[in-house]
Structure 1
Amino acid sequence: MSTIKIGGATLNQMPLDWAGNISNIKSAIQDAISKGINILCLPELSITGYGCEDLFLSHWLPEKALSFLPEIAEECINITVAVGLPLKYGGHLYNCACVIKDQQILGFTAKEHLANEGVHYEPRWFSSWQSENDAHININDNQYVLGQPIYNIDGINLGIEICEDAWQNRRPAIDYAEQNVDVILNLSASHFAFGKKKDRENIAIPASEDFKCVYVYTNLLGNEAGRMIYDGEILIAQYGKLIAQNQRFSFENYQIVSTNVAIPRLQTVSHQDIIDEDINKSPLQNDFTSKEEEFAYASALALFDYLRKSWSKGFALSLSGGADSSACAVMVSQMIKRGVEILGIETFLSKIHREDLIKKATVSDNPVKFISSNIFTTVYQGTKNSGDATFDSAKNLAESIGATFYHWNIDDEVNSYTEKVEKALGRKLKWESDDLALQNIQARSRSPIIWMIANIEKYLLLTTSNRSEGDVGYATMDGDTSGSIAPIAAVDKHFVLQWLKWAESSLGFHGLKDVNSLTPTAELRPPEQTQTDEQDLMPYNIIVEIEKLAIKEYKSPLEVLNILKKKNLEPENLLKAHIAKFYQMWSRNQWKRERIAPAFHLDDFNVDPRTWCRFPILSGGYKLEIEEMMNE
């Protein structure tokens, strides 16, 4: 049976990194040619990067992207390549795929359906292609087709979908199928979210059956612009069967997956012959599937890219011994382990701009711990309200992963601030009347010192707020929220607690033994008050249930009550109180969410108003709605 070789190449790009982006594109094309690939699919907007935001509104950015097409085309010797870029036509900007064959541009496919929900704002920058007819665009005195054409590649009919196009009921592939398209390429910039891999498979694999084609899906890779993570997924399917895929979350600049396929329209073979053919029975690459695995590997990639793309020298962390800061510590260690495993010591250190460590790291008995000690500094900052258990937890975890560990007491700083205020007010501050101020000053007193460490070392300061705290404002602004990046702000506390136990048993982070035995507490009140987070708030599993309905699904307090009381989570009077408390605290603390440090988007929703959930800073606070619920 005669075959062709089809492939996808994921790319780790960055907005405005013209040299890096074009280098990755060229390297991927050259590699594909060396592998004998005939048709190659690159990701959406891979020349500019997807996350250029309002720079897409400029005149020069699309023109700059277009200027690189000739040198990309020069690389396309004996290969057909689809590459993404923005393209201006008729006063509108279109999100396009350029198809190049044998160094010649064949035309441009424009995106029909623009993503405009959740973290996406594409209609702000792009116009959707709505014409049923293709147009023609003049570029450098050459005329090319623009629209949604079918390309003839040596007798093979090729169509293009661009990301969101494939997620719509009325997708371009329907029209392509009516015109006997053999291959559909999907250029995507599909942000990572837990479980989204299955959604993509449910789009790509059935499409190959429904439209009787080879379907190639190629996503972007890495933390491109700061918040969104792209997992670099590549899927190739034919006649309803997944025939090739990669392992996501690579630390490499690009990754290629390819396979041989037969095109039955051009052969004397049947549909069943294709299904039975041995070339479609090669083993598939294993990939990460559980939520715990995805969190570990997506976060490691996000931290790796954020570190190297910001040109920082490492990470600093105020390590309290509790769950949140411990999760951040494990994420950094996992990033180092994964980097060394995938890239090797020298390449990993070169990519994070720490060539100064290569010589010693390569001769170290434990290079991962050596690197950790030189790029990761942790500090336990205790007060008279801190306990030995949290100190031991922090110290043992830091030592187990090799991080530099300092510890000191901040009572002098806290007392200095407190005494000044007491002198100004003419009275002593007491826990009975000044609880919030006395708690917050401890958290805020830690911030300047750890920032000093970060500044001295040229490190990124990790802040440890989780999504549950963001929901209800259970965090001290300019205290535990203070930092450069918030790696767990998009996941709930209930998940963090579960994940830490999984990381101890499944990833081998045995230094988590102590933290996994502790009850979460802020340790800001006197020890005799036995403060715990859930006593201050409500059970974390209840917060998770409420936030899903209230924030993700926009339900009213009464609607939330009617849904949750059927689950028998707790007595109805207590459930009402918790729902009311959640909505009240949510409404009062939008100003805090506006100031959360940049956070990685990990779940299918988050509370970052700059990427997903917008809410007024000032509002009536659901007063009437809460009353209606309480009277139910």
Structure 2
Amino acid sequence: MGRKVTFATCSLNQWALDFDGNLSRILRSIEIAKCNGAKYRLGPELEICGYGCADHLYESDTLLHSLEVLAELLESPVTQDIICDVGMPIMHRDARYNCRVIFLNKKILLIRPKMFLANYGNNREFRWFSPWSQPRHVEEYLLPRMIRKVTDQVSVPFGDCVLSTIDTCIGSEMCAEMWNAKSPHIDMGLDGVEVFTNSSASYHELRKANQRVALVTSATSKSGGIYLFANQKGCDGDRLYYDGCAMVAINGDIVAQGAQFSLDDVEVLTATLDLEDVRSYRGERCHPHIVHDHKPYHRVTVDFSLSDDNDIDLITHRPMEWQFHSPEEEISLGPACWLWDYLRRSGQAGFLLPLSGGVDSSSTACIVYSMCVLVCNAVRDNNTQVLQDIQRIVGDLTYTPEDPQELCKRLFTTCYMGSENSSEDTRSRAKDLAAQIGSNHINLNIDMAVKGLLGIFTFVTARVPQFRASGGSTRENLALQNVQARVRMVLAYLFAQLTLWAQGKPGGLLVLGSANVDESLSGYFTKYDCSSADINPIGGISKTDLKSFLHYCVEHFQLSSLRRILAAPPTAELEPLVDGQVAQTDEADMGMTYTELSLIGRLRKVSRSGPYSMFCKLMELWKETCSPSQVAAKVKQFFRMYSVNRHKMTTITPSYHAESYSPDDNRFDMRPFLYNVKWLWQFKKIDNKVSDVELARAGY
């Protein structure tokens, strides 16, 4: 009997409800796996219907079409002579389960429902699925007629069971189960399971990949075994980007690493491993026989061997070091891949960005440029799907992109919308960056539109509002700022819809927003201003990380114009200039720095701190730089801003999710948007604490 086995695990760019496309990509992955000698193919979670179906999972159509795709997979010649492990929703006894369906040669071997559901962060699996709450319990699942016609089976095992082939034993766990304190692989390993599979739909967050790698390696480092990790990749139709990272590990070592960010719709990672390495590792380190109260798993036996007798010439994969991306690289690649998926699937012809010459809009522009670099590289690497997509987008079936600047000119329009309050410095910074990345740049002035709107107001009310610098009230000052910001949004959409028309070209442009996560958190933007857009690639990224990203772009893309942008203070430029210079800065308006705001954001969301808890934590963290009274003032200022502006989160542009403290109202940050902004009880508690601390320090 052979001892070497070749496994295949996949990252697929599946799309919610795209049953035709999803089927095609699944079949392609199986075909590649077989060509590489694999006898077991693992795919990502819910790959048949797409992970992000959300409330479409309530619809019987979604279940029906998933079964129809499964029937086609079972019948396809491509799926013969290889064990296929696919993900789909299944209804069993009127409960909906997130399942793995494992089949071979037109026979379903078993269906394994998910046991621990993800119900945190962006995940709401309990909304759509029931967990399988009976460990090591198996029932009979009666197959629907369309599947019976293919398999000639009436029922198949359904539940927490494992698959026993001629040469090894394989057990499944799914996504969040690996993150659980009592992961299934622990008990499966004690029961002699040698190969663990994990099908995931794990989305990207900055600095998150190392957690996945650590979990996969630790799953087999204590008790040995082979671990296959498959993951969804791409934009599934929502704010999330699934970042691949398929991997294979054995006995605590990574032996194969897939790409984290890629424009390839189908990536198949194969690895050849020696089963005897698992047995030797366990024989020295593990003693499963001492666990007397262990209940064995039900084994579904299959007369099929994953290995060949003549495997002497097969070369096994050796341990390797995982190559992690830096946070700056993650910002460059993740949102760029997300934008590419959004562009090619939306039917639009490109992007339009209001480019102000500041850090935020410049970061968005650099991400679009990074997307163009990725597209050119993919075409150079003979990615026919990317080539077909770009030819369709630009409307030229003979076009082959080679230069990112030239491609950027075709896809990307930037627009500087200046006013009498804009400085020449920001105008020139925007122009220089646009020239370096190659965007189609428009320079216009919004004063005429602003004065027209104010003229209507004055005609109706006979009142002329003034800026604070000219003696106006705070309310007048704010209104005059907001009308400029909102005019920019209207003009952005006008130019997005008609720019290509004016050039005699077909199609429209997607409007890009550029409010960072810290501005969203504090509400430091105008509702329905130019931050209101179709999508926002930086809405989940902090100002601090964006600055680091621009430093990276200076060197990596040779964009020297970014140096001036990085050196300038952040400003909205909505108040009158003083002697031709900007007098308004973001941090002065907010009453705190972006670095302070990022920390506050993490305490609010990640550490789940209310005003008093946050004050106590910050009093310790900032004790070298701030007095208790100063800390209290900053905490109160933040919560006032947060509660006053929280309503803006209900209308914020859908943003790429990248940070664990994102205030996205859609589902990640489930908080009300109407508050008592005085926070009377909480602030009184803080004030009492400040008094106690100051009295103690004074020796009373």
TM-score band, normalised by shorter chain: over 0.9
Q: 2:138 aligns with which of 134, 137, 148?
A: 134
Within 1, Cα distance between the matches of 2:551 and 2:31?
44
Q: Which is worse superposed, 169-178 or 458-467?
A: 169-178
In the other structure, the counterpart of 2:386 is 348
Q: Are 1:403 and 2:439 counterparts? A: yes
Name the counterpart of 2:246: 234
Which residue among 367, 373, 393 is the counterpart of 2:403?
367
What does the per-residue CA deviation read over 1:257-291, in whole Å, with 9 as the maximum and x for residues that have no partner? Answer: 11111112898998689xxx97242656x644221
Moved more, 1-10 or 468-477: 1-10
- The question of whether the paired residues in 2 share the 8 Å contact of 1:357 and 1:371 is answered with no
**Conserved in 2, the CA contact under 8 Å of 1:161 and 1:185?**
yes
Check conservation: 2:101, 2:111, Cα contact below 8 A.
yes
> What residue is the counterpart of 2:318 in the other structure?
281
SS in structure 2 of the partner of residue 397 of structure 1: helix
User: Per the alignment, in what secondary structure is the counterpart of residue 339 of structure 1?
Assistant: helix
CA distance change for structure 1 residues 313 and 466 in 2, over 3 Å: closer, same or farther? same
The question of 1:293 aligning with 2:329 is answered: yes
**Out of 416, 421, 440, which is 2:482 matched to?**
440
Aligned position for 2:353: 317
Match of 2:626 in 1: 571
Q: Measure the CA separation in 2 of the matches of 1:271 and 1:309.
A: 52
CA distance in 2, matches of 1:229, 1:31: 24
Where 1:620 maps in the other structure, the secondary structure is coil
Counterpart-to-counterpart distance in 1, 2:319 and 2:558 = 32
Bigger Cα Rg: 2
2:463 to 427, 432, 437: 427
Give identity over the alignment, percent.
Answer: 28
Query: How many Å separate the matches in 2 of 1:495 and 1:420?
Result: 42
Offset of residue 368 of structure 1? 1.5
- Note if contact 1:472-1:585 (Cα within 8 Å) is conserved in structure 2: yes
Following superposition, the deviation at residue 209 of structure 1 comes to 2.4
Secondary structure class of the residue paired with 2:596: helix
Calculate the TM-score normalised by the size of structure 2. 0.86
Q: Distance in 2 between matches of 1:527 and 1:435?
A: 14
Are 1:615 and 2:671 matched, yes or no? yes
In structure 1, what is the equivalent of residue 583 of structure 2? Answer: 530
Q: Which amino acid aligns with 2:116?
A: H
Equivalent residue for 2:697? Answer: none
Runs of 5+ unmatched residues, structure 1:
none
User: 2:617 is matched by which residue type in structure 1?
Assistant: I
Amino acid at match of 1:279: T
Matches within 5 A, 1:558-597: 558-568=612-622, 570-572=625-627, 573-597=629-653
Among 485, 490, 494, the residue aligned to 2:540: 490
Q: State whether residues 349 and 355 of structure 1, in contact with CA within 8 Å, keep that contact through their aligned partners in structure 2.
A: no
2:260 to 230, 248, 255: 248
Equivalent-residue separation in structure 1 for 2:466 and 2:217 (angstroms) = 64
1:449 counterpart (471, 491, 501) = 491
Partner of 1:24: 25
Rounded to whole Å, the distance in 1 between the matches of 2:387 and 2:570 is 35
Residue equivalent to 1:463 = 513
Secondary structure at 2:362 match in 1: helix
Q: Residues 267 and 175 from structure 1, CA distance in 2 versus in 1: closer, same or farther, beyond 3 angstroms?
A: closer
SS at match of 1:359: coil
- Could you tell me which residue of structure 2 aligns to residue 13 of structure 1? 14
1:626 aligns with 2:683: yes
Asked whether the 8 Å contact 2:467–2:477 carries over to 1, the reply is: yes
Query: Residue in 2 aligned with 1:545?
Result: 599
Change (3 A) 1:360 1:215: closer
Counterparts of 1:602 and 1:326, CA distance in 2: 18
SS in 2 for 1:95: strand
Summarize the Cα distance change of 1:437–1:481 in structure 2 as closer, same or farther, 3 Å threshold: same
Aligned-CA RMSD value? 2.1
**Residue aligned with 2:141, SS:** strand
1:529-562 Cα offsets, whole Å, 9 max, x none, are 6111111012111111111112332212222122
Deviation at 1:507, TM superposition (A): 3.9
The residue aligned with 2:311 is none
Residue 516 of structure 1 pairs with residue 520 of structure 2: no
1:113 aligns with: 116
- The SS at the match of 1:116 is coil
SS of 2:161 mapped into structure 1: coil
* Pair 2,178 (structure 1): closer, same or farther in 2 beyond 3 Å: closer
Equivalent residue, structure 2, for 1:44: 45
Structure 2 counterpart of 1:327, from 355, 359, 363: 363
Report SS of the residue matched to 1:219: strand
Listed one character per residue, the Cα deviations across residues 235-277 of structure 1 (whole Å, up to 9, x for unaligned) are 111111111111211101110111111112898998689xxx9
- 3-state SS of the aligned residue for 1:490? coil
What is the CA–CA distance in structure 2 between the aligned matches of 1:626 and 1:11, rounded to whole Å? 50
The alpha-carbon distance between structure 1 residues 343 and 232, as it changes in their structure 2 partners (threshold 3 A), is: farther
Secondary structure at 1:510's aligned position in 2?
coil
- TM-score, structure 1 length as denominator? 0.95
Query: What CA deviation, in whole Å up to 9, does each residue of 1:42-62 have, x standing for no partner?
Result: 000000000000111122211
1:555 equivalent among 609, 613, 619: 609
Superimposed CA distance per residue, residues 214-239 of structure 1 (whole angstroms, 9 cap, x where no aligned partner): 01111100111221110011111111
SS in 2 for 1:68: helix
Range that drifts further, 147-156 or 300-309: 147-156
Contact 1:243/1:259 (8 A) holds in 2: yes
In 2, the alpha carbon distance for the partners of 1:398 and 1:358 equals: 27
Q: Provide the residue aligned with 2:301 in structure 1.
A: none
Per mean C-alpha deviation after superposition, the further-off stretch among 585-594 and 45-54 is 585-594
Q: Counterparts of 2:518 and 2:282 in 1: how far apart (Å)?
A: 55
1:496-511 pair list within 5 angstroms: 496-511=546-561
Runs of 4+ in 1 over 3 A off after TM superposition: 265-273, 343-347, 357-362
Please say which of residues 439-448 and 24-33 is displaced more in the overlay: 439-448
How many residues in Structure 1 have an aligned counterpart in Structure 2? 625
Structure 1 range deviating more: 538-547 or 42-51? 538-547
SS of aligned partner of 2:84: strand
Inter-partner Cα distance in structure 1 for 2:461 and 2:216:
67
Distance 1:420 1:270, change over 3 A: closer
Structure 2: give runs of 5+ residues left out of the alignment.
286-313, 501-507, 691-700
